[in-house]
Structure 1
Amino acid sequence: MKLSSTQLYLRLLGYVKPYWRIFALSILGMAITAATEPLLPALLKPMLDGAFIQKDNAVIKFAPLIILAIFFVRGIASFMGTYAIAWVGNKIVMDLREEMFHKLLTLPTPFYDDHATGNLISKLTFDVAQVTAAATSVVTVVVRDSIIIVGLLGWLFYLDWKLTLLSLVMVPVIAFILRIINARLRNASRDSQQAMGDITQVIEESIAAHKVVKLFGGQHYERTRFSDQVNWVRRYNMKQAMAASSNVPIVQMIAAVALAAIVYLATLQSDGDATTVGGFLSFIAAMLMLTAPIKRLTGVSEHLQRGLAASESVFDLLDTPGEVNAGERDIGRANGGIAFEHVSLSYERDNRLALRDICLKIAAGQTVALVGASGSGKSTLANLVPRFYLPDVGRITLDAQNIAELSLSSLRANIALVSQEVVLFNTTVAANIAYGQMREVPEAEIIAAAQAAHAMEFILEMPQGLQTLVGERGVKLSGGQRQRIAIARAILKNAPILILDEATSALDSESERHVQAALETLMQGRTSLVIAHRLSTIEKADRIVVLQKGEIVETGTHAELLAKNGVYAQLHHIQFGGAGNLQEAQ
């Protein structure tokens, strides 16, 4: 449901509530600052009439002191209001970023399948920063300048209520203009934020794939793509600038017409001795001082609309449903028996059936290999176990308990994953091995896990050993080294269920030998679900399950499946008969 501007703003102000004391202090500071504004034209009348016409010594003596006192109070209050509102604004941005990041950590896997990384990063970096203006800066201007306008109008009414009423004729005209301009500002701001997300996406992809870009000569293509996106941002920003820059001159022109008419009428009154020189100059000064706050109030709509457009983007992410975690049961440490009971799954994007009526039982401690063509459903089937995806039909059990009734934390505490695309963080080797452990892990345990993963031999050769930084995504390590650190992480977790997703498919023979030895250590006594293209790596599996177009077509041991001379035998013949690799066989 799309929120109205009022609902968006009220929700945004809800983030101010925890800091209402500081916010109130800022409002007080702004109110005091604003209250001193009308005092300046109000002083003109007694000061001019008393000092220059009546020659009053008291006025001559105290007028400068009063002016100094006003600006002293005004300076203190202005600092207090500005600093306090900036503090609140930055706290709101921090809170929103933390809440958004927490939401990202809980969003389901299909969400990430459908959303570009760059756009999500842009929401946390660019969009949320725009919210500050709507939540704080706008409040500053509205509170301060509204008080100033009320004070100045009060003084003007006191001096001449007829002329003041005449000046208010411009209010409905200004309101109508603002309504038109605000709509254009909101649309342009919304488009600009989307374009910024696209820019972030291009940057993120170009940096991550810089080797591919260089090797395949993609620099021109990437420059063109980036230039196009930058130009879109420029165009949307110019639309905002057009609306914002036309706003103030139009309003000022309307105010100038009203001011000119009032000056003319006031001049006529002065000819008839209806007002004094001090009163006339005080009235004109107050009228002129009205233009600045009116200008700021009309200009604030640019920041407000940009902030509201950003709020839509931020709240859209925050309102996205997180992972389904309705299960409340804690299974503790599982034995590892897994069963798929008539499980089917279709992807929402195209309603294509990824898995069809899967029935499979895996005994605790058993190693089951999943083989088949790319797109046959191997990884999808494995991803159902930790509930990265939810089946449309059927159920999956762990030790005869429906995993949908288990809490996500309890279920996933029993599962370790080693995949082809190893995820390492830009921190030390030790921190990567101990990643996610909810305790202080002794170095001895980290070393033991690394030794079991055949990783200590290269870790000891590093400059700082376990404390060596691995770089972004482990860029300072080879593929085999990254795999062995991932295996060490899984060994340290000591989960009863292990998912190996093509863990050796991208390695050379020497690295594969080390990694395979580490995997054999890791798989001992665990329920292992192994996805592999290289059939040589799964010949020792207790059972091999062959999938084709989301269905199980064969099951058995390596020898049994070869004897059947079916799909598996054909794949095996292609791999070892020199006809190419498994993917070419498809």
Structure 2
Amino acid sequence: MGKLFKYMGMYWKSVLAILAILFVQAYCDLSLPAYTSDIVNVGIQQGGVDETIPEAISVEEMNKVLLFVSEETEKEIVQDAYEKNGDLYEKEAYVLKESVLENEEEMEELSKIMGLPMMVTAGFESGSEETKEIEEQIMGQIPQGMLPEDATIFDVFAMMPPEQMTQMVEEIRTQMSDMPDMIVEQAGIGYVKTAYQDLGMDVDEIQLKYMFVTGGKMIALAFLGMIASVLVGFLASRVGAKAGRDLRGRVFRKVVGFSNNELDHFSTASLITRSTNDIQQIQMLMVMLLRMVLYAPILAIGGVYQVFQTNVSMSWIIGLAVVLIALVVLLLFVVAMPKFKIMQKLVDRLNLVTREILTGLPVIRAFSTEKHEEKRFDKANMDLTKTNLFVNRAMTFMMPVMMVIMNGISVLIVWVGANGINDGQMQVGDMMAFIQYTMQIIMGFLMLCMISVMLPRAAVAAERVDEVLSSKTIINDPKQPLLIPQKADGVLKFDHVSFRYPGASEDVLHDISFEAKPGETTAIIGSTGSGKSTLVNLIPRFYDVTEGKITLDGLDIREVAQHDLREKLGYVPQKGVLFSGTIASNIMFGNPDGSDEEMKEAAQIAQATEFIETKRKRYDSSIAQGGSNVSGGQKQRLSIARAIAKHPKLFIFDDSFSALDFKTDVALRRALREKTADSTVLIVAQRISTILHAEQILVLDDGQIVGKGTHEELLRNCEVYQQIAASQLSEEELKAGMQKGGE
């Protein structure tokens, strides 16, 4: 996980921008349920009236309400909050002062004072069962004829002595004290609506206006949320793409700088997987992290806050949902986590087997082992498939469980909410909002669960990529490298050089000392496994010597920059390597600014013009990947031409003539001798015929130089060389060499 956040931290500015936009998106998403609740509660059920006290009320209705305000101080507070206005409405009315409207504390105090009186007034006006009983009792106590026929209960209340009225109001308060605040509030709002109708106000217009304004806000929020979501997706995709690009670049640059030791540690198949599949996993997860993981806690915390604002009594349902989801996630991690670590290794294995089979297809066909290789591939493929199926089944198990939890929680909220609505503790819109907030909270956790399936695999991938990036390269440039002179002679000297591979218990080369001079050819010959290729691999610093030193023109090659050193070398590997492109691009690979004349000269010396001229496009003829569309001999000649075109001071031919026929070999060496008259030439060879005319031949046996001299000298003095010569030359050639050496 730490590695993932480290890679993401490189783009912290974009991450901060995404985080800010996510807060905007969360605000929009969390505001919509509240507006939905308002549409249902206020817009539909309350007719668009959301005030708990009337902003305007007729004088007649105000007098009725004040009858049930028992305290004189409270009456004064109400009367001070309103002012008379007879011009705005059909009746003379009291209008709430602007200063009171803008003061929340005063509005809340008025609501507490007027709430119950408005409810009682509405009850007597509507003739509810409770108020009917009170009205019958009071009317029954008054003798007939004392009141006019059109007298109302309010006229009776107005005639009552203040003490009796206060006592009656207190009795009414006592009877209604057990009534939930929600019912009192709703009754008050109902009275406000009636008061507006009494003044001749168009309540339908009030309702429509409220619905349009609230609906407009919802549309604006939804549109803003959509823009925020699109922006987050765009920025997250850019960050993910940049991270993938930069990681691939860093891995590639790191691998290009690897010595042979690091290349031996990481297999080619593994490096390919790490550069492609692993980085793709990181890139995908980074996008998901920025789009979902950062958003999930914001949404969940915001949802919890809104839930407590909506209804605290049902908050235990949220806790239950979170616990159930946490249990599912924990189970998923315990079961699936170990499989992700195995999965990437299985991808490596599949890539390795596939690469081996495709590379060695001709050999496989020649030995008729297709069935065996098919079984190898099937095993690697099936192992990966089984692991993938296990992980996917765990994922498919998680989704239905989550849906069951979500639907179960919805049913539980409806059941508990219905009881709350029945008891007057909450409204329908509040329950709807609570369901939406709960779903948002659960969705937040659900997002985290979905990421939890991808996270372990991406975490493993990040570790594997970091292994490459943090691996220490054994061969490094010195802090203050020495400069090789531009007009270097190319004198190469091995001074008591010994070498062992990293981690090996014994040396491969022992106390190697020799000097290769310009204008001379130094040949190295020996049996298979004697250390010939290892010796020449020390010169370009593919490996560094264990003991002793190698100097080029007197400078220790470890004290010069690798680039400067290799600029002076023309290296032809044992196995010819060509790159996809054209013949021209391959020949001029080490000298891209060279002229066509240099290219043709190099091809002519390497005896490559013979087959190049037969091609329709000649030097512009295409070369397939790995040089698969040319023969082994043609591949070697193009590799030799590539080294010649570079004009190096030191040529290294690592058994580079093995695929050439005798005639081509002779012609190539003759032309090469003329071209390399001022250069130092090192040739590793298996065939004595290739090195007959070398000025110096080194005979290697078990990592040691057992013979040094010309062909003739070695025939007389070196037993190992004699054995090699006896296996390759005729008796006449051996005798001729011996006689020439004796002279």
Q: TM-score, normalised by structure 1?
A: 0.91
- Counterparts of 1:522 and 1:195 in 2: how far apart (Å)? 51
Offset, 1:250: 4.9
Is 1:69 aligned to 2:223, yes or no? Answer: no
Offset, 1:458: 2.8
1:433 and 1:489 in contact (8 A); partners too:
yes
**Aligned position for 1:32:** 24
Is 1:14 aligned to 2:13, yes or no? Answer: no
**Aligned position for 2:103:** none
Quickly say closer, same or farther: Cα 1:565–1:353, change in 2 above 3 A. closer
My pick for the range that moved more, 363-372 or 240-249, is 240-249
- How does 1:278-427 map onto structure 2 within 5 Å? 278-327=429-478, 328-333=481-486, 334-427=488-581
1:546-582 CA-to-partner distances (Å, cap 9, x unmatched) read: 111111111111111111261111210121259xxxx
Quickly say closer, same or farther: Cα 1:507–1:184, change in 2 above 3 A. farther
- Counterparts of 1:481 and 1:231 in 2: how far apart (Å)? 40
Is 1:544 aligned to 2:697, yes or no? Answer: yes
Unpaired stretches in structure 2, ≥5 consecutive residues: 48-206, 732-743
**Aligned position for 2:97:** none
1:346 and 1:354 in contact (8 A); partners too:
yes
Secondary structure of the residue that 2:523 maps to in structure 1?
strand
From 108, 113, 122, the equivalent of 2:273 is 122
Quickly say closer, same or farther: Cα 1:513–1:338, change in 2 above 3 A. closer
- How does 1:216-295 map onto structure 2 within 5 Å? 216-250=367-401, 261-295=412-446
1:336 and 1:497 in contact (8 A); partners too:
yes
Matched letter for residue 93 of structure 1 = G
Matched letter for residue 389 of structure 2 = M
**Aligned position for 2:52:** none
- Counterparts of 1:179 and 1:392 in 2: how far apart (Å)? 52
From 561, 577, 594, the equivalent of 1:441 is 594
2:322 and 2:442 in contact (8 A); partners too:
no
Secondary structure of the residue that 2:510 maps to in structure 1?
strand
Quickly say closer, same or farther: Cα 1:210–1:35, change in 2 above 3 A. same
Seq. identity, %: 28
- Counterparts of 2:420 and 2:229 in 1: how far apart (Å)? 37
2:581 and 2:624 in contact (8 A); partners too:
yes
**Aligned position for 1:158:** 309
Secondary structure of the residue that 2:313 maps to in structure 1?
helix
Matched letter for residue 29 of structure 2 = E
Please identify the structure whose Cα radius of gyration is greater: 2
2:525 and 2:697 in contact (8 A); partners too:
yes
Offset, 1:523: 3.4
1:484 and 1:518 in contact (8 A); partners too:
no
1:540 and 1:558 in contact (8 A); partners too:
yes
1:368 and 1:544 in contact (8 A); partners too:
yes
- Counterparts of 1:279 and 1:565 in 2: how far apart (Å)? 102
- Counterparts of 2:327 and 2:221 in 1: how far apart (Å)? 36
Offset, 1:503: 1.3
2:299 and 2:440 in contact (8 A); partners too:
no
1:167 and 1:259 in contact (8 A); partners too:
no
**Aligned position for 1:583:** none
1:355-375 CA-to-partner distances (Å, cap 9, x unmatched) read: 112222223332111111110
Offset, 1:424: 0.9
From 35, 49, 53, the equivalent of 2:41 is 49
- How does 1:537-576 map onto structure 2 within 5 Å? 537-564=690-717, 566-576=719-729
1:504 and 1:516 in contact (8 A); partners too:
no
Is 1:531 aligned to 2:523, yes or no? Answer: no
Offset, 1:187: 2.9
Offset, 1:475: 2.3
1:365-412 CA-to-partner distances (Å, cap 9, x unmatched) read: 321111111100111111111111112111111222211111111111
- Counterparts of 2:538 and 2:640 in 1: how far apart (Å)? 21
Matched letter for residue 43 of structure 1 = Y
- Counterparts of 1:510 and 1:207 in 2: how far apart (Å)? 34
Aligned length: 569
Secondary structure of the residue that 2:585 maps to in structure 1?
helix
- Counterparts of 1:467 and 1:180 in 2: how far apart (Å)? 61
1:31 and 1:143 in contact (8 A); partners too:
no
**Aligned position for 1:483:** 636
1:336 and 1:365 in contact (8 A); partners too:
no
1:281-308 CA-to-partner distances (Å, cap 9, x unmatched) read: 2222322343323211222111222211
Quickly say closer, same or farther: Cα 1:543–1:415, change in 2 above 3 A. same
- Counterparts of 2:668 and 2:359 in 1: how far apart (Å)? 26
Quickly say closer, same or farther: Cα 1:366–1:561, change in 2 above 3 A. same
Matched letter for residue 428 of structure 1 = T
1:134 and 1:308 in contact (8 A); partners too:
no
1:20-51 CA-to-partner distances (Å, cap 9, x unmatched) read: 24x44433443333222122211122111223
Matched letter for residue 605 of structure 2 = A
Quickly say closer, same or farther: Cα 1:290–1:565, change in 2 above 3 A. closer
Offset, 1:350: 4.0
My pick for the range that moved more, 58-67 or 305-314, is 58-67
Quickly say closer, same or farther: Cα 1:518–1:233, change in 2 above 3 A. farther
Secondary structure of the residue that 1:529 maps to in structure 2?
strand
- Counterparts of 1:452 and 1:577 in 2: how far apart (Å)? 29
Quickly say closer, same or farther: Cα 1:526–1:360, change in 2 above 3 A. same
Offset, 1:203: 2.0
- Counterparts of 1:323 and 1:180 in 2: how far apart (Å)? 44
Secondary structure of the residue that 2:457 maps to in structure 1?
helix
Matched letter for residue 10 of structure 2 = Y
- How does 1:477-516 map onto structure 2 within 5 Å? 477-516=630-669
Matched letter for residue 420 of structure 1 = Q
Matched letter for residue 494 of structure 2 = F
Matched letter for residue 547 of structure 1 = L
CA-based RMSD of the aligned residues comes to 2.4
Offset, 1:137: 0.9
**Aligned position for 1:454:** 607
Quickly say closer, same or farther: Cα 1:568–1:119, change in 2 above 3 A. same
Unpaired stretches in structure 1, ≥5 consecutive residues: 579-586
Secondary structure of the residue that 1:128 maps to in structure 2?
helix
Secondary structure of the residue that 2:614 maps to in structure 1?
coil
- Counterparts of 1:386 and 1:289 in 2: how far apart (Å)? 62
1:108-129 CA-to-partner distances (Å, cap 9, x unmatched) read: 1122234321121111111110
- Counterparts of 1:564 and 1:191 in 2: how far apart (Å)? 59
**Aligned position for 2:58:** none
My pick for the range that moved more, 233-242 or 247-256, is 247-256
Offset, 1:345: 1.3
Offset, 1:460: 2.6
My pick for the range that moved more, 308-317 or 254-263, is 254-263
- Counterparts of 2:446 and 2:711 in 1: how far apart (Å)? 80
- Counterparts of 1:514 and 1:290 in 2: how far apart (Å)? 81
- Counterparts of 1:122 and 1:211 in 2: how far apart (Å)? 25
My pick for the range that moved more, 116-125 or 179-188, is 179-188
From 110, 114, 138, the equivalent of 2:261 is 110
Matched letter for residue 502 of structure 1 = D
- Counterparts of 2:483 and 2:369 in 1: how far apart (Å)? 51
**Aligned position for 2:319:** 168
Offset, 1:415: 1.0
Quickly say closer, same or farther: Cα 1:420–1:395, change in 2 above 3 A. closer
1:367 and 1:541 in contact (8 A); partners too:
yes
1:487 and 1:519 in contact (8 A); partners too:
no
1:138 and 1:304 in contact (8 A); partners too:
no
